[in-house]
Amino acid sequence: MKIADIKVQKLFQKTLFGVFCLFGIIGLSTSILLIYTVNDYLSEEYEDNSKDIAKTIADSSVDILLNRDLAALQSLIDQFVEIQGISYIYIADETGEFLAHTFVPGIPEEILADDPTSTETVERNIDGMGDFVEVGSPILAGVAGTVRLGMDTGVIALKVQRAIGRQLYLVCIIFAVGVVAALWFVKLAANPLRDVLAYAVALARDEEEEASSRSRVLERKDEAGHLARLFLYFSRGEALDDDAPPGSTGPAA
């Protein structure tokens, strides 16, 4: 092997591999954490908002219901169903009869089979429509009926996906910057080492001319300089003098 071919490849590879691993772990762990955090947060927020909306409708419905004006009631829920995430709303009277709803082409079997006067929060899958979180609110303490509305969990999933996408985008940028920075730092560390190695090999092979051409490493004040001087000491059996001026312990000129 020629001295000029000496490279510090393994050190670089290991460092790069380490960077990959580190960022992989960071990316994966933050994404998982983000999924749970965002999902929990959004689900909770959506559920709370849904309950607030259901309560608002319930409070607004009292007079309308007492006036038996179902057209106004329908108009009211039609306005709320335009809010993003709300997929359906229905209002049942105290006997469970549906008085107004927003379903097309009809009330799904899954809802018909359930108790429309319940105010429990349920997760529901409706055939052909999707998955929903359904909340309820009583009208006039339930004696006038119940409002129930379904929030599309697909909207929450979409928001989670978007948040994760943004997070991964950020991690990728940091990763790319990290790789470039790592390469640069590795190069900074590898160059003196390569010089020391080349100098040591020249000494070992007793190639004085080659060693002389690489003697600049002896002038370094860092670990590379110390190592080079150590190699020179071992090769000549001279006393090591750290305080010697650069070049004073170099090979015989």
Partner 1 sequence: MNRRSLILYGVGGSIVGAVRAEPAGSGVTDTEITLGMSAAFSGPSRGLGIELYRGASAYFQHVNDQGGIGGRRIAIKTYDDGYQPDPSVKNTMTLMLEDEVFLLFGYVGTPTVTRVLPMLKKFQDRNIYLFFPFTGAQPQREPPYGDFAFNLRASYRQETAGLVDNFVRIGRKRIAVFYQADAYGRSGWAGVRAALKRHGERIAGEATYRRGTKFTGTMRRQVEILQKAKPDAVICIGAYAACAAFARDAVDLGLRVPIANLSFVGSENLLKLLTEEREESRQYTDLLVNSQVVPSYEAVSIDAVREYRDFMRHYDPVAPAELVKEAYSPFPHSFVSLEGFLDAKLMVEILRRLGDAPSRDALPRAVFSVKDYDLGIGEQVSFGPTRRQGLQRVYYTVVDEGRFVPLDDWRERFA
Nearer to partner 1, 29 or 75 (CB): 75
Quick one: 22 or 70, whose CB is closer to partner 1?
Answer: 70
| Core vs surface per residue 128-167: b (16+ CB within 10 A) or e | ebebbbbbbbbbeeeebbbbbbbbbbebbeebbeebbeeb
Q: State which residue, 75 or 161, has the beta carbon closest to partner 1.
A: 75
Measured between alpha carbons, how far is 100 from 90 in angstroms, rounded to an integer?
Answer: 6
Radius of gyration of the chain from its Cα atoms, rounded to whole angstroms: 37
Q: For partner 1, which is the closer residue by CB, 71 or 143?
A: 71
Is the CB of 82 or the CB of 206 nearer to partner 1?
Answer: 82
How many angstroms separate the Cα of 190 from the Cα of each of 55, 175, 179?
Answer: 68, 22, 16
SS3 category, 89 = strand
Residue 42's closest CA among 147, 128, 137, 158?
A: 158
Binding site for partner 1 (CB under 8 A): 67-75, 78, 100, 102-107
Distance of alpha carbon 89 from alpha carbon 97, whole angstroms: 14
